[in-house]
Structure 1
Amino acid sequence: MKTKKHRGSFMLRFMVFGFSIAVGVLTFWLLGYIIQDINRVKGPDYNQMLEVGLPQTLQDERESLAAELVDLKQQIESTEQRRRLTAQTTKDSQQTINQLLELKRNADQNETSLSEDQQQALTDSLQLFLSNQSQTQTLNSELSNLNDELNDVKEKQRQNAAAITRASRPIEDEYEELYEQHQWKLAAYKLGMLIPLLLVCGWLFVRQAGGTYAVLVYAISGAVALRVLLVMHDHFPAIYFKYILIVLSLAIATGVLVRLLRLVAKPSRDWLLRQYSEAYANFFCPICDFPIQRGPLKFAVWTRRSLKKHTPVPLDGSTATPDQPYTCPCCETSLFQTCEKCGGVRHSLLPACEKCGDVRENNVEPPVSA
């Protein structure tokens, strides 16, 4: 006799469901950390390849031009600062000269003359103004030369950058090839770790389907399968990943369909028992789905859609009829028969008699077609 499976209480089922999700999430998390460690495997270094592959003369020229450019910018900034100070000094001298000239005009109008100190200040201010003007012109000329040198250095930098770009193209091609090889290597490492786990999970999935540890296997298998898909998405080109995903989905759908077709052709005992019990509970023939019209429902009419709205028929002593064997008038299947042990009427397609408990295992079998 087959061992009965206990569903357990609601709280127990809820805890099993919750811990199954936790196991799946933790498994997915653990595999993610392992994949992160695999990603730490060093690949090609582009900067190092440039340093080795580029001509040394171009590298030296680039560094020299960069240093020269920095030096010229500092010189231009210093000269600009000196010119600003000189311009300020020139402006102050000009204001002093204007004030002294105003004093001289007033003295001429009053027929007087400037004092010796004022005359000397006017002379000194004129000399300082002329000197600052000369220095400003010199600084402007120096700034112009520095800017010309800066433009020359920038032009040399552009030429050097163009030469480096031309020289680095083969290095970039080599780097891209090495990087692609490195990505395939990482994918091989990851899938080499994940595929065996996926195969083991697939084997357990088949062996434990409907078993005691089925939920645990489902949780771990789902986590491993999802991680495999993510690794393939990260490393496989989109066009390849698209076809791989479609082929895998097609294989899974085909496998499920084949299993369902086998289940229809040769249903298992548990499947038949579930189908028969649901049909009996809803007053439909388990074989052809024809309504079971017996007892108080002999003259009632219902469908699966209207079954829930159907009002139960009340029973009393005057209208109750004795329970009798019953055969489906549509498919000729015996649905209720006399129990050999107690003489009462029992369900023909269920294993136990509801009156005496007599068990007949061969009841739950698909009926043979005539």
Structure 2
Amino acid sequence: MKTKKHRGSFVLRFMVFGFSVAVGLLAFWLLGYIVRDIDRVQGPNYSQMLEEGLPQELQDERQTLAAQLLDLKQQIASTERRRQLTGQTTRDSQQTINQLLELKRNADENATSLSDEQKLALTDSLQLFLANQSQTQTLNAELSNLNDQLDDVERQQRENEEAITRVSRPIADEYEELAEQHQWKLAAYKLALLIPLLLVCGWLFVRHAGGTYAMLVYALSGAVAARVLLVMHDHFPAIYFKYILILLSLAIATGVLVRLLRLIAKPSRDWLLRQYREAYAHFFCPICDYPIQRGPLKFAVWTRRSLKKRTPVTVDGDAATFDQPYTCPCCETTLFHACKKCGGVRHSLLPACEKCGAGSVLEQEAATGSQD
């Protein structure tokens, strides 16, 4: 006799589902930490390779030119500030001279003369203005000279960078090759850990699918499979990962389709029992889906959609007159027959009689065969 499966209460099923999701997430999290630890394996260092491969004279020249460039920029900034201050002083002196000349013009018109202090101030302002003009010209010349030097250093720096680029191109190619090899090495380390786990999960999935620990197996298998896909996505080139993902999806879809076709051709007992139970509950033949028109529904017509809207039929008289053996008129399948133990009418395709609990003939033969 087959052992009955207990579904449990809604709360218990909800807790099982919740903890299964938690186990899957924690396993995915744990595998993520392990994968990140593998990523700590040191790969090629481009800066170190560049420092070792570049000629020392080019490196020294680059540092020298960078220092000269910085010094020239500072000198230009300082000279520019001095020129601005000198220009401001020149403008102030010019304004003072204009005011003194205006006073002298008024004095000439009035037949008077400037005081000695005003004459001295005018003379000093003129000397200061001329000195500032001379200093401005000197600063402009110095600034022009510094800009010429800056242009020359920048030209030398560009030539140096071009020379370094020519020399470093083979180093960059070597680094890219080593970096690609390092990525493949990391992928090999990670897959060497994950592929055995995936195979174990696959074996458990085949052995325990639909069993007591099915939810646990599903959670762990999903976590490992998701982590394997992420590792492949991170390390495999896009063109390879695209084909791998398509082939993997094709294999999974083909496996599911083959399983469904086998299930249709040779359905399991549980699958048939579920199909029969649902068909009987909706008053349809489990074999051909023809309406079961017996008892109060003898002359009724309905579909699966209209059945939910139909009001219950009131049964008048003895119910035994409606509970009679019944054969589907469409596929000739016996759907209700008299029980051999109690004589009551029972469902032919369900395992037990609803009146006495006796099993079907197939159940009894299976039990007898197991005892032998």
| TM-score, with structure 2 as normaliser | 0.90
Deviation at 1:104, TM superposition (A): 4.3
Rounded to whole Å, the distance in 2 between the matches of 1:123 and 1:9 is 111
Point out where structure 1 has 5 or more consecutive residues left out of the alignment.
366-370
Partner of 1:286: 286
Rounded to whole Å, the distance in 2 between the matches of 1:110 and 1:291 is 132
Partner of 2:326: 326
Where 1:306 maps in the other structure, the secondary structure is helix
Where 1:143 maps in the other structure, the secondary structure is helix
Partner of 2:131: 131
Q: Which moved more, 1:299-308 or 1:14-23?
A: 299-308
Q: Which moved more, 1:260-269 or 1:318-327?
A: 318-327
Change (3 A) 1:343 1:103: closer
Say yes or no: does 1:180 pair with 2:180: yes
Partner of 1:80: 80
Partner of 1:169: 169
Letter in 2 for 1:291: P
Q: Which moved more, 1:299-308 or 1:8-17?
A: 299-308
Partner of 1:26: 26
Deviation at 1:280, TM superposition (A): 1.8
Change (3 A) 1:93 1:334: closer
Partner of 1:359: 359
Rounded to whole Å, the distance in 2 between the matches of 1:143 and 1:364 is 112
Point out where structure 2 has 5 or more consecutive residues left out of the alignment.
366-372
User: Residue deviations 1:173-196, cap 9 Å, x none?
Assistant: 111111111211222222222211
Given that 2:76 and 2:143 are in contact with CA atoms closer than 8 Å, whether structure 1 keeps it comes out as: yes
Rounded to whole Å, the distance in 1 between the matches of 2:249 and 2:23 is 24
Rounded to whole Å, the distance in 2 between the matches of 1:38 and 1:364 is 59
Deviation at 1:211, TM superposition (A): 0.8
Q: Which moved more, 1:138-147 or 1:231-240?
A: 231-240
Deviation at 1:291, TM superposition (A): 2.5
Partner of 2:63: 63
Rounded to whole Å, the distance in 2 between the matches of 1:9 and 1:281 is 22
| TM-score, with structure 1 as normaliser | 0.90
Given that 1:349 and 1:364 are in contact with CA atoms closer than 8 Å, whether structure 2 keeps it comes out as: no
Identity among equivalent pairs (%): 81
User: Residue deviations 1:134-187, cap 9 Å, x none?
Assistant: 222211111111111011111111111122222221111111111111211222
Rounded to whole Å, the distance in 2 between the matches of 1:232 and 1:254 is 22
Rounded to whole Å, the distance in 1 between the matches of 2:115 and 2:137 is 33
Deviation at 1:92, TM superposition (A): 3.3
Partner of 1:206: 206
1:229-240 aligned at under 5 Å gives the runs: 229-240=229-240
Rounded to whole Å, the distance in 2 between the matches of 1:350 and 1:77 is 98
Deviation at 1:251, TM superposition (A): 0.6
Deviation at 1:110, TM superposition (A): 5.3
Given that 1:351 and 1:364 are in contact with CA atoms closer than 8 Å, whether structure 2 keeps it comes out as: no
Where 2:48 maps in the other structure, the secondary structure is helix
User: Residue deviations 1:229-258, cap 9 Å, x none?
Assistant: 222222222221111111111111111111
Letter in 2 for 1:75: Q
Given that 2:296 and 2:322 are in contact with CA atoms closer than 8 Å, whether structure 1 keeps it comes out as: no
Where 2:202 maps in the other structure, the secondary structure is helix
Deviation at 1:5, TM superposition (A): 0.9
Say yes or no: does 1:153 pair with 2:153: yes
Q: Which moved more, 1:191-200 or 1:325-334?
A: 325-334
Deviation at 1:96, TM superposition (A): 3.7
Given that 1:295 and 1:320 are in contact with CA atoms closer than 8 Å, whether structure 2 keeps it comes out as: no
Rounded to whole Å, the distance in 2 between the matches of 1:137 and 1:322 is 124
Change (3 A) 1:134 1:363: same
Where 1:296 maps in the other structure, the secondary structure is helix
Say yes or no: does 1:49 pair with 2:75: no
Where 1:346 maps in the other structure, the secondary structure is strand
Rounded to whole Å, the distance in 1 between the matches of 2:121 and 2:324 is 142
Taking only aligned residues, the RMSD between alpha carbons, in angstroms, comes to 2.3
Rounded to whole Å, the distance in 1 between the matches of 2:220 and 2:5 is 23
Deviation at 1:115, TM superposition (A): 4.9
User: Residue deviations 1:93-117, cap 9 Å, x none?
Assistant: 3344444444444555555555555
Rounded to whole Å, the distance in 2 between the matches of 1:62 and 1:340 is 104
Q: Which moved more, 1:302-311 or 1:170-179?
A: 302-311
Partner of 2:369: none
Partner of 2:368: none
Partner of 1:368: none
Rounded to whole Å, the distance in 1 between the matches of 2:130 and 2:81 is 20
Where 1:164 maps in the other structure, the secondary structure is helix
Letter in 2 for 1:166: R
Partner of 1:272: 272
Given that 2:287 and 2:331 are in contact with CA atoms closer than 8 Å, whether structure 1 keeps it comes out as: yes
Given that 1:69 and 1:153 are in contact with CA atoms closer than 8 Å, whether structure 2 keeps it comes out as: yes
Where 2:336 maps in the other structure, the secondary structure is strand
